[in-house]
């Protein structure tokens, strides 16, 4: 039976670990940049902020309202309904699922972009 004390197994495991670590260490920044570019390319252009807020801005709660990306009805969806009320409004036909989804995608996007700008 081959165990962890087998010198061949130890050498093979160490070599694989070194290879994976080396490969990841060399490429993680390249992979991250590529994935960020892919994410950015999939966001509809009309959802993008014209400019990012200053990096020293502490409270970003007003960005969805002030950025000009959301319509009045989308702001209403994201600000005036809780989860239960949204479910009831969708069930009654007052709101459409696609409109609620779009509103929440649009309201989250400025925060994602702002966070990405700070972190990367």
Q: Give me the residue spans of the domains in the chain.
A: 1-42, 57-120
DSSP state of 70: S
In this structure, the dihedral spanned by the alpha carbons of residues 59, 64, 67 and 72, taken in order and rounded to 10 degrees, is -140
Mean pLDDT of the chain: 77
pLDDT of residue 53: 72
Q: Residue 102: how many CB atoms within 10 A of its CB?
A: 17
The whole-number pLDDT of residue 29 equals 85
User: pTM for the full model?
Assistant: 0.60
Sorted by sequence, the CB contacts under 8 Å of residue 48 that are 6+ apart come out as: 69, 109, 113
Q: What is the mean pLDDT of residues 5-33?
A: 61
- Rounded to a whole number of angstroms, the CA Rg of the chain reads 23
Q: Are 87 and 61 in contact (CB under 8 A)?
A: no
Instruction: List Cα–Cα distances, 28 to 35, 60, 119, in angstroms.
Output: 10, 30, 15
CB 75 within 8 A of CB 65: yes
């Amino acid at each position: 039976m081959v165990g962890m004390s087998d010198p061949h197994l130890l050498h093979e495991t160490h070599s694989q670990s070194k290879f994976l670590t080396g490969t990841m260490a060399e490429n993680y920044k390249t992979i991250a940049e590529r994935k960020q570019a892919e994410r950015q390319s999939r966001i509809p252009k009309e959802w993008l902020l014209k400019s990012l807020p200053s990096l020293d801005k502490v409270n970003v709660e007003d960005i969805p309202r002030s950025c000009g990306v959301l319509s009045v009805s989308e702001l209403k969806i994201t600000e005036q309904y809780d989860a239960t009320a949204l479910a009831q409004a969708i069930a009654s036909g007052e709101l459409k699922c696609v409109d609620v989804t779009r509103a929440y995608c649009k309201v989250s996007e400025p925060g994602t972009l702002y966070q990405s700008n700070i972190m990367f």
